[in-house]
Structure 1
């Protein structure tokens, strides 16, 4: 016989929500004592189950009878919130697989949780996906959060999600969409007239990176300078570090290495022990790479920093970040006249990138070829450098690719391959949007991979 409950309709709704969240069908809950049709009547609010039936259904759903009857389960909610806190800590420490698993377990029990905890878990899940390099899945998760009515423009959550979307689209190579999202979000903040926060500054910092990636260094410098002023006046330690870091990368792209080193040093000075280990590793890598580019430079110190960065990125970095660290270590070894070690690092970088046609893969091939030339293996070096050229021509012309063409040209020239060097320099001009020098009628034809493309 049915008993009377305070919230019979609510019990049915919670039963339906939990069953769907667990991926169960009504027949999965049915038994000799409870038929499928009876479960359907409970879910529709037409029957109020007895205490015995509620206990049976709660056991099969993995919840308490208290939750089914009242919607309240303080013990379970506390347990899940502790799991979400553990997931946050795992994410901070770079244990991305653990974080993803824990956030997924929390979300499996979303119906019993407050909305704020659910949104926190969804954001953490999306960040874990991003850090694991599962960018398409991360973009889907971030987009759902960004378009949710609960994500209020100008809030910390909104700024963080907009920043992540901008960052993911940049990593996927969609510079147009990444800039569109970043610029739109900053315009919205300006319209709201809100005081700048660390989250807003970090959004602008990612936009600076997008401008830099597409070669728009003038805009990148303008926004970077603005962010630095705002961060110094209103930002916290993390925001100031982020602004100096990005300003350093812009200065590096403009060839202003000493300024870049000074900015990177200021960013490093703002690191503390409990900072995200991945951020610490990446910033050490940036500073080490800048030391390699400076004149006269400090290749030994640079290698130490790059080795520290690489050791952490092996644990918490993406494959692309690990590959970049390996390529930088290869360059440091070259500066120290350690050609064999340089080849090992460059080869590992290529293995991490799985031979994908991307700028990082081309750069790894270029440094590998340089190391092979340095070791006296001219034949293999030529093959490697020509493979880099073939791969580079598969990428769309851009100022960033022009820099790689320049590096390839320098290597050809250093080892006496003048025709190949001239072709690569001309391609660098083309990709930078400058007219190349036309070949004379009597010029020796170069391998097809070196034929100049149309200007960008």
Structure 2
């Protein structure tokens, strides 16, 4: 006979929590031997189940009887910890889909796991979502982790989460929020008076990237210069690498190409000992693009680097990253006179982006239009360039969009379309924050 009430209180609670975590209803656990009403009585602590009933319920829930009875299941915990370690390794190697699946499987068993393992899996899941380009879902996953009282301000994980939220909001186009999160986090670090760690330096480097995306290059350079000094003084190789990398991008945006190349070369040297394939690929892409914009430039070397980046990103990159590498290859091919290859790479970049209105798509269209004009395909070239302009108008005005308007204007100008070029140049000035003066009609 069953005993009543308090003896099975913990068992009833664990049964209810695990059933809900599995997405099951009470009737899903019921059978000829165990009725729905009996399960309800167990969960409400009005009945203590027999050993046979516990064994039956544990089998249906995919847990051990030990867990239902005591809340402890060492063998299951070890199995899930190993799965979490596998997911960490997959994420490290760029197998983001595999990592996401493994983390999700671990989290499905969250009630039987220590809180530290659950938090580790939740963080990994959020990072995998970010790497897969599912940015809104990543923000939803990162935010509660960052705001959790258990996440101590100034800790390594706190800094990692702040940096991740900065990256995601910046990639989603919310430059204001991305900078606000980064600045607020750095102010808090200053108030705490902690000695800078690699994670703090990397947070600052991400903020530099956010300033650059917003077009605030003066702040970006000031923070980048400060970070380089800190990273060289007491930062590890990873923090130094990211700092030099972002400083190189800022220098590129300011037209300081030779300095950008030197900074990028320093970042590449620091990356040499790393096994992060994705980081190697992204930095090769940046360096190759810098070589194309330098004077006199090295299109052969740039093509080699961009081709390597493209091959590596095929396995570990997001669609945007892969498209950017293809567009870079297209530009290198244009410089080398390999028109057919340039057309193919630019077209492949657009296929990867699926017609999404983004700067990468605009750039790919501009390159494709340039190739078509050069091949004498005036009609398709104009159509492609106007499609790029249509997409660009859907994006918020910023220095980056101004640069694309300038690129488009230069192409119109090169092929003799003066009116279209003038309009695009004016739009570039507007997006850069330099609108024309309002004057009476006909006045200078």
The TM-score normalised by the length of structure 1 is 0.93
What is the CA distance between 1:188 and its match in structure 2? 1.2
How far off is 1:59 after superposition? 0.8
Alignment of 1:260 with 2:275, yes or no, is no
Q: Give 1:335-374 correspondences, 5 Å limit.
A: 335-374=335-374
Match of 1:452 in 2: none
Separation in 1, partners of 2:213, 2:395 = 13
Q: Distance in 2 between matches of 1:46 and 1:279?
A: 57
Kept in 2: contact 1:3–1:51 (CA 8 A) = no
Looking at structure 1, the residues matched to 438 and 53 of structure 2 have their Cα atoms a distance apart, in angstroms, of 85
Match of 1:398 in 2: 398
Unaligned runs of 5+ in 2: none
Partner of 1:21: 21
Q: Which residue of 2 aligns with 1:450?
A: none
Deviations 1:298-334 (A, max 9, x none): 1111111101111111111111111111111110000
Instruction: Kindly report which structure 2 residues correspond to 1:225-264, keeping only aligned pairs within 5 A, or say none.
Output: 225-264=225-264
Asked if residue 87 in structure 1 is aligned to residue 87 in structure 2, the reply is yes
Whole-angstrom CA distance in 1 between matches of 2:37 and 2:272: 61
Residue deviations 1:23-67 (CA, integer Å, cap 9, x gap): 111122122222222222222223222111111111111111111
Deviations 1:222-278 (A, max 9, x none): 111111111111111100000000000000000000000000000011114543221
Q: Is the counterpart of residue 163 in structure 1 residue 157 in structure 2?
A: no
Deviations 1:133-154 (A, max 9, x none): 1111111111121122221211
Question: Retained in 1: the 8 A contact 2:6–2:46?
Answer: no
Query: Does the CA contact (< 8 Å) of 1:3 and 1:50 recur in 2?
Result: no
Distance 2:439 2:330 in 1: 35
Q: For 2:251 and 2:92, how far apart are their aligned partners in 1? A: 29
Q: Distance in 2 between matches of 1:196 and 1:396?
A: 35
Other-structure match for 2:118:
118
Q: Which residue of 2 aligns with 1:270?
A: 270
The more displaced of 37-46 and 280-289 is: 37-46
TM-score by length of 2: 0.95
Aligned partners of 1:4, 1:55: CA distance in 2, in Å? 19
Residue matched to 1:146:
146
For 2:273 and 2:26, how far apart are their aligned partners in 1?
A: 52
Partner deviation per Cα, 1:60-118 (whole Å, 9 max, x = no partner): 11111111111111111000000000001111111111111100000000011110000
Distance 2:311 2:3 in 1: 63
Per the TM alignment, residue 437 of structure 1 is displaced from its structure 2 partner at its CA by 7.8
1:439, CA displacement in angstroms?
A: 11
Distance 2:11 2:317 in 1: 45
Deviation at 1:441, TM superposition (A): 7.8
- Within 2, Cα distance between the matches of 1:204 and 1:393? 31
User: 1:7/1:130 Cα in 2 relative to 1: closer, same or farther (>3 Å)?
Assistant: farther
Query: Which sections of structure 1, spanning at least 5 residues, go unmatched?
Result: 443-456
For residue 356 of structure 1, give the secondary structure of its aligned residue in structure 2. Answer: coil
Q: Contact between 1:340 and 1:375, CA under 8 Å: does it hold in 2?
A: no
RMSD of aligned alpha carbons = 2.0
